[in-house]
Amino acid sequence: MGVTFKVFKKWSPNGKVTLYLGRRDFVDHISSVDPVDGVVLLDSELLRGHTKVWAQLLCSFRYGREEEEVMGLTFQKDLFLASEQVFPPAKRDVSLTKLQERLITKLGSGAYPFTFTISQHAPNSVSIQSGGVDDEKNPLGVEFLVRVFAGDSSEVKPGNRSLVELGIRKVQYAPSKQGKQPVTLVRKDFLLSPGELELEASLDKQLYYHGEQIGINIGVRNYSNKEVKKMKASVQQCVDITMFNTGQYRTTVASVETEEGCPIGPGSALQKVVAVKPSIEMNRGRRGVALDGKLKHQDPSLASSSLLAEMDLRESFGVIISYVAKVKLYLGALGGELTAELPFVLMHPKPEKEKLIREDSQAQVEMFRQDTVDGDAPPSGGRRLLKDMQKLSLQH
């Protein structure tokens, strides 16, 4: 029995250039990043005319809303991570992946492979909610694009109907091992008052998965003559936009306020666990909340923690995400507050290892239309090819 796998397909407005990718998520393993491998299918007219065809990998960072761009001012920076001429092909030895081999065999002589390498220091795909209606169309944050087009040079000319772009993501998954358990102990003394207030907080583990409930262990010992009125436990998302020196801010994505066990008077103590659960449902549409880079037809989630090999080598334009669990004790107007913070990691678990493409594997094609020209329909040849691809058995 053959294994079914998905192939992503997108064609240009004129139907002469078609892009195929085997996946849209490319994993950053800290030491290396999965290569971006795909195949471009060219129309016979381009082949006969020996028109140059280029493939490029772009990283786009949008740090302002498009509606606020006036008088030539733009809030977007584009970085070309890789560019190569797909046709006519350069004379060099390139090892093909299994997917590329199968697609080239079935698509014929008009199919040409390409492979890009993403720098391990490139930022992860992250989008930031602006609270506006254009979050879906032009989200703030970091996006990656694979661009293929026909032209005399590697620069895209406006109105190029042989242009096709498909969004991809650079993602990180949770490490296989847990880190050190987060624990902290803070004390507060009072002017002209004897004794001190002690707050100890800890988490059960350092690594949590999205959708998982976080239990914060709280221990309060009151050696002062003050009284704890109430307490609050929260999870804060820390966003660092590296392009700006003042681009750091925090957003509370989950919180619980309680007076259970309070007041905690002089000489008293309290030990309890407060559960909080950060989720996208409570933060959908909230301005400033960072999400994992979103692809169409996929449900979003809160942005995952960013894992960096070295802080000094981070990309100059990117978004770094971290999380802290915060406990705050309220002592009234004269007593002030006492706060403790616990950093932790919030990520998605690593998915099951993808099955190898066997000779009897079946291809399931997911199509995308190039949005640059409204109303374009796939050419008749593209419809036939789709039908063939949905049935084909990728064999030698």
Rounded CA gap, 46 and 182, in Å? Answer: 60
- What CATH code is carried by the domain that includes residue 255? 2.60.40.640
Residues 92 and 40 occupy one common structural domain: yes
pLDDT, tens digit, for every residue of 252-286?
999 999 999 889 999 999 999 999 999 999 998 89
Nearest to 114 by CA among 142, 148, 144: 148
Is residue 389 over pLDDT 70? no
Q: Calculate the alpha carbon distances from 258 to 227, 262, 329 in Å.
A: 15, 8, 10
Q: What are phi and psi of 74, to 5 degrees?
A: -125, 145
Number of structural domains (the chain) is 2
- Check whether residue 187 and residue 108 sit in a common domain: no
Q: Assess whether 159 and 251 both reside in one domain.
A: no
CATH of the domain at 162: 2.60.40.840
Q: Is residue 237 part of a domain?
A: yes
Is residue 330 located within the same domain as residue 380?
no
Kindly state whether residue 41 falls inside one of the protein's structural domains. yes
Q: Which domain holds residue 57?
A: 4-173+352-391
pLDDT at 363 over 60: no
Task: Tell whether 319 and 222 lie within a shared domain.
Answer: yes
Q: Are residues 151 and 215 in the same domain?
A: no
Judgement on whether residues 132 and 199 belong to the same structural domain of the protein: no
pLDDT digit string, tens, across residues 61-103: 887 776 666 666 777 788 888 888 998 887 766 788 888 888 8
Instruction: Classify residue 178: in a domain, yes or no.
Output: no
- Band (pLDDT 50/70/90 cuts) for residue 314 is low
Q: What are φ and ψ of residue 188, in 5° steps? A: -140, 125
Say which range, 92-96, 209-213, 389-393, has the weakest mean pLDDT.
389-393
Tell me whether residue 396 is in a domain.
no
